[in-house]
Amino acid sequence: MQYIVNRRAQFSASHRYWLSELSEAENWKKFGACSKFTGHGHNYVLFISMAGELNKYGMVINLCDAKHVITKEVTTHLDFSYLNNVWSEFQETLPTPENIARVIWQRLAPYLPLVRVQLFEHPELWADYMGKGMESCLTISTHFSAAHRLVSPALSDEENAEIYGKCGRPHGHGHNYHLEVTVKGEIDQRTGMIVDLSALNKVIDDYVIEPFDHTFLNKDIPFFAQVVPTAENIALHITDLLRSPIKKLGVQLYKIKLIESPNNSCEIYCNQPELSSVIATSNEPGIPRI
């Protein structure tokens, strides 16, 4: 049986997005304020995931040993550093979260049984690297506030009350939804990016946040006129809204995670076509989330 164990580490560092072959105006157009001469910094949080079978001591790996390796090979070099000058890999390919995670994998792979390197640049942006060449995942976390009522037009009032309980009360109720959008693509050999982050943020804002924020989902979003706006169905609809515009940015929509409350969330791995069209033609009610 395979087990996965995780070790957390952190470091503080600065970096700059700047390509020497471009002019100052071209760098500004491509990277905006991230190209400023003075650079900028982050408190990075790193999670190293390792897999294996249990040894006779009941461990996949001694996490104290893992800590020493991570400290020696990674954090000692990166903590309180200017990343562009630390490792040669960051001079060839810029130190974006995607590329930093990739290079950390390369530094640790000879010593640890890695399955994932996850690097948080800040709580709303992180990268996952799984050792697949230049392929990486990038996640943006954002939020919107909306009300909904869990009620199916295909059911009687009595049936709705039995299934949805207080979530089906006539005036609805609201949530502060947290949305995580994960995309997958190839790291550019020069910029270190899998996607233009500003363009990705704009797509998410235009197709989800602006239309959904401060709405009554059942009444303001046409899709939910006939579909029960459970967390599952909302996540499905968001998946279909984002799939095509994200593909036009040159990356693949990989996962949607919708957090309805601290107690309830839904994840969808987006490798199936047009999921919500199936839901829209089904009479099956969604599951209440209280």
CATH number of the domain to which 98 belongs? 3.30.479.10
Residues 6+ apart with CB under 8 A from 13: 41, 42, 44, 78, 79, 80, 81, 82, 83, 86
**Strand pairing of 135-148 and 215-216?**
parallel
Phi and psi of 41, rounded to 5°?
Answer: -130, 165
Judge if 191 and 274 occupy the same domain. yes
Whether residues 95 and 140 fall in one domain: no
Specify whether 199 is located in the same domain as 98.
Answer: no
Both 138 and 106 in one domain: the answer is: no
What's the pLDDT at 272? Answer: 57
Q: Is residue 260 among the annotated active site residues?
A: yes
Average pLDDT over residues 21-28: 95
Residue-averaged pLDDT of the chain: 92
Among 167, 175, 237, 270, the active-site one is: 167
Of 94, 110, 132, which closes a domain?
Answer: 132
Q: Are 117 and 48 in contact (CB under 8 A)?
A: yes
Question: Do both 102 and 147 map to the same domain?
Answer: no
Phi, psi dihedrals of residue 102, rounded to the nearest 5°: -65, -45
Query: Is a pLDDT exceeding 50 seen at residue 288?
Result: no
167 counts as catalytic: yes
Give me the number of domains the chain comprises: 2
Q: What is the largest CA-CA distance in the chain?
A: 69
Tell me the percentage of the chain whose pLDDT exceeds 90.
Answer: 85
Q: Which of 85, 109, 132 is the last residue of a domain?
A: 132
Whole-number pLDDT of residue 160 = 84
Verify that 114 and 198 share a domain, yes or no: no
* Domain of residue 112, residue span: 1-132
Phi, psi for 13 (deg, rounded to 5)? -155, 160
The answer, yes or no, to whether residue 280 has pLDDT greater than 90, is no
Per annotation, catalytic residue among 15, 121, 260, 266:
260
Task: Supply φ then ψ for residue 172, to 5 degrees.
Answer: 70, -170
Task: Indicate whether 175 and 99 sit together in one domain.
Answer: no
Which pLDDT does position 157 carry in this prediction?
A: 87
Within 8 A by CB and 6+ apart from 256, the residues are 179, 180, 181, 182, 235, 238, 239, 242, 267, 268, 270
Q: What is the mean pLDDT of residues 113-120?
A: 98
Average pLDDT over residues 74-86: 97
Alpha carbons 105 and 117: distance in angstroms, whole number:
6
Domain boundary among 98, 132, 166: 132
Average pLDDT over residues 157-168: 88
Alpha carbon distances (Å) from 231 to 163, 226, 266, 289: 15, 15, 6, 8
Whether residues 269 and 212 share a domain: the answer is yes
Examine the pLDDT at 283 and tell me if it is beyond 90.
no
pLDDT attached to residue 137 = 98
> Is the pLDDT confidence value at 141 over 50?
yes
Give the CA distances from residue 122 to residues 1, 139, 141, in Å, rounded to whole numbers and listed in that order: 34, 11, 10
pLDDT beyond 60 at 289:
no
pLDDT of residue 229: 95
Residues 89 and 177 in one domain: no
One domain for residues 290 and 178:
yes
SS (H, E, C) the chain: CCEEEEEEEEEEEEECCCCCCCCHHHHHHHHHHHHCCCCEEEEEEEEEEEEECCCCCCCCCCHHHHHHHHHHHHHHHHCCEEHHHCCCHHHHCCCCHHHHHHHHHHHHCCCCCEEEEEEEEECCEEEEECCCCCEEEEEEEEEEEEEECCCCCCCCHHHHHHHHHHHHCCCCEEEEEEEEEEEEEECCCCCCCCCCHHHHHHHHHHHHHHHHCCEEHHHHCHHHHCCCCCHHHHHHHHHHHHHHHHHCCCCEEEEEEEEEECCEEEEEECCCCCHHHHHHCCCCCCCCCC
Question: Are residues 234 and 193 part of one domain?
Answer: yes
Which of 122, 210, 214, 274 is catalytic? The answer is 214
Q: Which two tokens stand for residue 257?
A: 């995670």
Same domain for 16 and 65?
A: yes
